[in-house]
Amino acid sequence: MKYFLLLVFLFISGCATNVESIKDDKDVLINKNTGYILLGVDSNMTLKSIDIEGPQNIRITRQDLTAGSSYILLALQAGKYKLSRIEFNQYYRAYVDDPEYWTFTINEGEINYGGDIELRTKRFARALRYNMELINNSSLALEFVKAQFPNILSNKTIVYGGPGEDDYLKLWSGKKL
């Protein structure tokens, strides 16, 4: 019985926590070691979930993953995160095989734009084929934050936290290059 409980505890502790995106324009960063992550999701189908691993393993659920293009703002513990899995529905899922390309950073006290996940699916017989890319649309992400979260943006700087380099958001925020 002790071993069974230990296995259950290890299984539960390794699971991702379901998170919901921020809907109200209120600064919710209360812990010193937290920041915001802004992710774009552009998909031609409603997704079941997106799993992200890092200091805090999370799962973005169907509530925030409707078909079309949208942005998701989350408050998370600062650190490096990696998109690990996308579930299309109960039968199909994709695992990320190039972790460097799907990694983003959350800096403490900032809005960190991680990129736009562009996902196109197509049914072929009984299979589901897909094409998935992480695209940097920092100017569109900035316009979204200006329109939906002006109060948060007025108190925080916005930076690019995705793979590669992008100075556009640093210039906009007035940070030194």
pLDDT at 79 over 80: yes
Cα 16 to Cα 50, 123, 134, 164, distances in angstroms: 10, 29, 22, 26
Domain spans in the chain, listed from the N-terminal domain onward: 14-173
Taking the C-alpha atoms of residue 155 and residue 158, their distance in angstroms, rounded to an integer, is 10
Give the DSSP letter of residue 64.
G
Strands 49-53, 103-106: parallel, antiparallel or unpaired by DSSP?
A: unpaired
- Note if the pTM is more than 0.75: yes
* Cβ proximity of 42 and 14 under 8 Å: no
Per-residue pLDDT, averaged over 147-170, amounts to 90
Residue 11 predicted with pLDDT over 90: no
Q: For residue 103, name the pLDDT band (cuts at 50, 70, 90).
A: very high
Instruction: Using pLDDT thresholds of 50, 70 and 90, give the confidence band for residue 90.
Output: confident
139, containing H or E segment: helix 138-148
Lowest mean pLDDT among 7-11, 63-67, 81-85, 109-113: 7-11
* Contact between residue 36 and residue 152 where contact means Cβ atoms under 8 Å apart: yes
34-38, 106-110, 166-170: range with lowest mean pLDDT: 166-170
